[in-house]
Structure 1
Amino acid sequence: MADGVALGFSMEPLSVALVNILPSRNIPKELDSSRKFKQILSSIKEIGLIEPLSITPVIKKSEHHMLLDGHVRLVAMRDLGYVDAQCLVANDDEGYTYNSRINRLSTIQEHLMIRRAIERGVSPQRLAEVLSVDISQILKKMSLLKGICPEAAELLKDRQFSTDIARVLRKMKPTRQIECAELMVSANVVTVSYAEAMLVATPVEMLVDGKKPQKLTGVSKEQIAKMEREMGSLQAQYKLVEQSYGRDVLNLVLARGYLVKIFENQAVSRCLFQEHPEVMAEFEAIVKTVTLEH
């Protein structure tokens, strides 16, 4: 393909001298005493920099780059005596582009970083000490994707969620894992309680051990059966909405453009206002739509 989607960042990290990286915002004076800073300082000291800094291309007529993300890491590395750092260079030098589109570290990204650190020889116990968490949390995050099919992991890769969700998904077969992940992401409810409710509503043949889980407290067999039917129906509805979403949005954009032209005609607008005020109110609501993003 001659044309493609431009990448926002370079694919390979670049080693850049810290003296040539300029912060894009003021660093709080109390940063050195914050718990977050101490954790990052300890982590970099023990493990090294795992997540590269994000910077702009070289500023014209200088050797400097503007820092887009990683201010705390930059301060910590300077305090530790680092001379340079691995950086990802943005193809667009506007901080807005990065900050408005990047997601904070997701649960699966955290899992991958922990696995990477352990592969480098850092023990789980040492990681727990560095990050000031219980070792059980490190062990759970280490084995996060064990028993989770790649398709379900892909659906959840940009989300922050409890490691207990993975525990619930492991009890389901891959097809059901994907269905549940799709439902949680579509409904924007990636919680343990929602996952457990779907587990209870999962047919026996779609469970790994072929046994129905214990029922939720206060939920009868009839309610569980109803939940199973509703979950199946909800899955089908989401599929239908997903298929028609693009077409519906396009129709709405075209309709809005048409209504804008109609309202430019004062005679038509006056007639609608006088003869069909309720219709006019609906049309105005469509025209006032500023964005279709959600």
Structure 2
Amino acid sequence: MTQAEASPNLKSSRHAIHLTGDLREPAGALKKYPFVTTYRMLTDRMRCFTGEANVSRERLEIVVQTFRQLLAVDVFRDLLRSEGFVIMPATLADRIVGLTAPIAEAKPNQTEATSKQLIGGVCAEVLELLQDCVVPPKMFGLLRQVVPSRQIEIAQLMVALGRVKLNTARVLIALSPESQLADPSTPRRQFSGIDAARSTAMAIEFAELSQEFRNAAERWGSSSLELVAARGYINRLMDSPKVVRYLAHRFPEKFAAFQQGLETTPRFPVLENP
């Protein structure tokens, strides 16, 4: 593709200029140590984020279930009314009565290339995703090895994990299923010190972790905001001596659930770049 043919995208992306020239893949095979180190760093980051997101989701579920049970008690509803706590956050109220989809419901990943336009073999949407990132030009040569939908997945993962790096792209492409390769007939590049069996096991593990990570990321925004709203309401309840005494004496386990819901979600460790 010439620079003239790519001009509309050149105006909107500072990376498109690299796609008008000769794209070359990185020279030399990725050795075992950087491959395994990058793989472990990526999987650890995905596990950490997923774990943190799951803790927030579980706490919100506990708070919702606790409110649902307490609101079935006439005395508790009367107490809320007398203390001026009838109005609660709409998001919390909707989830209590079941107007919001279950938190645990995860949608399967359905990433598709929303833009069919390719520039130098790279999906235009990838350029948009990487617009604000420093991208090694050779990365675009690597991305051409996979189909557009996989290019988008790789770009999304790199941005979400804060690892828009050449080695990251090489590992993600190496772990891509054959069905997502631009030319499945091309033999996979083997990495020194990593046999075929281990490479297959790593690919399977990474695919599962990636799906969990994407599901957690999809739920993270809404559930975390709902938990913030719920915590604000619970804090108001805990400022009422009457509500605190009632819960502590009549429903100590539910009182403990509210206290747990007020706890700050633990921050899982994020590894430094290798």
**TM-score, structure 1 length as denominator?**
0.43
Between structure 1 and structure 2, the one with the greater Rg is 1
Task: Tell which has more relative contact order, 1 or 2 (C-alpha 8 A, sep 6+).
Answer: 2
Higher strand proportion: 1
